[in-house]
Structure 1
Amino acid sequence: MTALLRTEALASAFLKKENNNTKKVIVEKFFEDSFESFEDFVIKDEKIDFYLNGEKLISVMSIKEHQDAHIIGFLLSEAVISSFEDIKSLKISEDGLSVFVKADISNIAYENLFKQKTLTSGCCVGVTGNAEKAFDCSFISTQYSLKSTQILKQMSEFNKSSKLFDDTGCVHKARIVLEDGTYFETEDIGRHNAIDKVIGLVTLSKKDLKKSVLYVTGRLSNEMVVKCVMHKIPIVVSKAAVTFEGIKAASEHGVTLIGFAREHRMNVYTHSGRVLID
């Protein structure tokens, strides 16, 4: 019979810090009539504190990577800032757990962020205060289009496992591919975090998102579509499912919404005119 607290005893004896984003632990895998012990990696999630103009803004559970891009993407997605030029200074603490931003902000958006919060459907629960109001009148009218074969090829390349995913199986990815083929990619424990980070990276590079495609690993719900509308990203693609509210938002605001993009097939739910057949 398995001794009580065996796992805890082994973990305390053998726990090792592997790198900034993972830890190595002892795991016991049980079968019907036996078990085995082995070392495995788990993601190291940490609380990152964001400060805006000298005051605590929000804390997020995230991995300690691309913190500067994360806060910029978040502020842009919530319409607290309108462009990168609104940022006056940005500093990450030495331990990486705090990010300090000074910026010219929209006071209305800032106040609304805390007055009226919507619980999102993210895998790492988050809130949004400006998602629905900020994009009410927005519509993406760009005629930017791609061949279906090109979308599936880019999705296949995006779907290749990363070392962090191979080690932990516990991260979402987001990739933005620009018209010239340049791409930016981020990973995080939360799909919202990953998208905010990759949008922040593109913004830091001062690239235009109006002719781009966003590839993600998670489901495409309403708030994921909102981020695309806010940043004028015309096409969003996932290997996962879409939700009804996600379809409604994409239809109303001009986003080409693609789900279940795998191997040689994909489902196009809205604005299929941007997807061309060879």
Structure 2
Amino acid sequence: MQLPNDYIIAPDPAAKRLTRAVSGFDHTGAEVDIAVVEERPLTIYLNRQEVVTAMTIGDYPEFLAVGFLRNQGMLADDEEITGIDFDEELDVVVVRTASQTTFEEKVKKKTRTSGCAVGTVFGDMMEGLEGLDLPAAPVKTSWLYALARKINTTPSLYLEAGAIHGTVLCHEDRPLVYMEDVGRHNAVDKIAGWMFLNGVTAEDKILYTTGRLTSEMVIKTALMGIPTLASRSGFTAWGVEIARQVGLTCIGRMRGKRFVCLSGAERLERDVDPDSVPDESRKSGRKGKT
């Protein structure tokens, strides 16, 4: 497959395993066949410890597993991963490390005491923000306009079937890695896993997402070390508060020439006249809903 816009990884809407054709009826009563996104469970293990079962479209399970563990603080920056085993039949992925991580015993303790290890993971993510100060990376508005135009016209499952979220790792005005999933957090974790396994630095990157800029999206972006987060969608108040706390540039409601920056506006370099940017037609862009 030839990748559009020089992506390193881009969606493959034609991948048969990710969608299926389902028959139904439209508003006129006519029979129609539409592509519907698949959803399947993926159980993630850290060495011998089962950590979580996530619902996912099923692509890039290794990246998803490593990214999830990384974003939850279960893998340190210098963690040595000795193997990643994926069993497609069982929908299980096992991430193996050279030595037992400190988190394995922590997860076991939570499982024994509450029956739900993941329910307390959010607090652990918040702990990871203590003392975090992201680099004050400049952001040119010309980059934002170019990225929105390229990403919104990239063939994707979102355009093909809807009911899915997309997240894109970018450098300046170039989209690099475009991941999709039924959950926006899964898409972010896939990118985090790809970055970790390929030793990709974060301080000069932009993360673009189709989803809302919630507290968890902001936290994941910050923990990845990415200084800029942009979205077609809106914000939550807590997400903005955390973004300001850690110095994350947070830009939302990006459509055509319009956007809103609620954190890090001093880092924007307005190098293009918005009136020179075509506005986005309401009929253009993505079909379907996330």
Provide the TM-score with structure 1 as the length reference. 0.83
Shift of 1:109: 7.6
Query: Corresponding residue for 1:135?
Result: 129
Q: Secondary structure at the match of 2:137?
A: coil
Partner of 1:198: 191
Asked whether 1:27 is paired with 2:24, we answer yes
**Pairing 1:111–2:143 present:** no
Distance 2:85 2:103 in 1: 25
- Alignment partner, residue 256 of structure 1: 249
> Deviations along 1:179-214, whole A, 9 cap, x unmatched?
594611111011000000012112222110111000
Question: In 1, distance between residues paired with 2:150 and 2:255?
Answer: 11
The correspondence of residues 51-200 of structure 1 with structure 2, limited to 5 A, is: 51-83=45-77, 85-95=79-89, 97-103=91-97, 104=99, 106-108=101-103, 111=106, 117-118=118-119, 128-140=122-134, 142-178=135-171, 181=174, 183-200=176-193
Name the aligned partner's letter for residue 255 of structure 1.
L
Q: Which residue of 2 aligns with 1:41?
A: 35
Query: Cα 1:108–1:85, aligned 2, differ >3 Å: closer, same or farther?
Result: closer
Structure 1 unaligned spans of 5+: 1-17, 120-126
Cα deviations by residue, 1:3-47 (Å, 9 ceiling, x for unpaired): xxxxxxxxxxxxxxx81011111111234xxx1111111111000
Q: Is the 8 A contact 1:139 1:253 kept in 2?
A: yes
Matched, 1:237 2:238: no
Change (3 A) 1:274 1:130: same
Deviation >3 Å, runs of 4+: 112-119, 179-182
Q: What displacement does 1:85 show?
A: 4.1
Tell me the CA shift for residue 92 of structure 1.
1.0
List per-residue Cα deviations over 1:139-176 (Å, max 9, x = no partner).
Answer: 21x23212112112112211225342233112111111
Distance change >3 Å, CA 237–CA 165, structure 1 → 2: same
Q: TM-score, normalized by length of structure 2?
A: 0.79
May I ask how many residue pairs the two structures share in their alignment?
250
Change (3 A) 1:84 1:218: farther
The code of the aligned residue for 1:135 comes to L
Query: Greater Rg, structure 1 or structure 2?
Result: 1
Q: Deviations over 1:215-262 (max 9, x none)?
A: 000000101100111111100000000010000000001100000011
Q: For the Cα contact (< 8 Å) 1:77–1:227, is it kept in 2? A: yes
Distance in 1, Cα, partners of 2:236 & 2:119:
17
Letter in 2 for 1:164: L
AA matched with 1:178: H
Q: Which runs of 5+ in 2 are unaligned?
A: 1-14, 272-290
| Alignment RMSD (CA, Å) | 2.3
CA contact (8 A) 2:143 2:173 kept: no
